[in-house]
């Protein structure tokens, strides 16, 4: 390598450091782009699963090989400011029929086992039900069903797979709640 040909030890050390720093920067951006990203939860739309101020790790890597599944917690850009993320739970996948009747969700005619919702649903949104989830789209809801802007709202709508930044896999803050997020 040409570094070994540099005779001045100070210059050689400087060039070695520049290569090391350059490699670290490239590695950082590759990891951030293709593998992991950290996000802060802003608001309580995913309460009680995630609350305001939680810090989570998003796995970008998982969705390079598989499509999101019902139950996954995902992040996607907020339409009003793409530098900010929405974090919601996938409830329905392409081909599913979603209906909201009497304050309960039905997926393909079966009542959604809504263990994440802590109170009866009062916020119906402004989209008409039932809806069929089209190819490459996903229906998402916040776990705090009455305090979430999600696929029930036309401003959010169904989320394209290509817009999903990643799956929430682990909470890293606060430390007393450190662990896997389901």
Catalytic residue annotation: 45, 88
Reading the block at residue 80, the tokens are: 């009003």
46, 33 contact by CB (below 8 A): no
Reading the block at residue 49, the tokens are: 């699963």
Taking alpha carbons only, the member of 162, 167, 138 closest to residue 72 is: 167
d(Cα 159, Cα 182) in Å, to the nearest integer? 20
């Amino acid at each position: 390598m040409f570094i070994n040909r540099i005779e001045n030890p100070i210059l050689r050390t400087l060039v070695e450091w520049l290569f090391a720093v350059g490699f670290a920067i490239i590695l950082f951006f590759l990891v951030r782009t293709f593998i992991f990203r950290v996000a802060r939860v802003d608001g309580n739309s995913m309460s009680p699963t995630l609350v305001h101020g939680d810090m989570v790790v998003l796995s970008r890597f998982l969705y390079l090989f598989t499509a999101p599944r019902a139950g996954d917690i995902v992040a996607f850009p907020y339409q009003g400011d793409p530098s900010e993320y929405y974090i919601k739970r996938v409830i329905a996948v392409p081909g599913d029929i979603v209906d909201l009747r009497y304050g309960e969700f039905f997926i393909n005619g079966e009542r959604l086992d809504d263990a994440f919702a802590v109170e009866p649903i009062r916020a119906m949104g402004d989209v008409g039900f039932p809806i069929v989830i089209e190819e490459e789209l996903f229906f998402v809801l916040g776990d705090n069903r009455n305090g979430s802007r999600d696929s029930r709202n036309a401003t959010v709508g169904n989320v394209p797979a290509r817009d999903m930044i990643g799956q929430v896999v682990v909470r890293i803050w606060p430390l007393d709640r450190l662990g896997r997020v389901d």
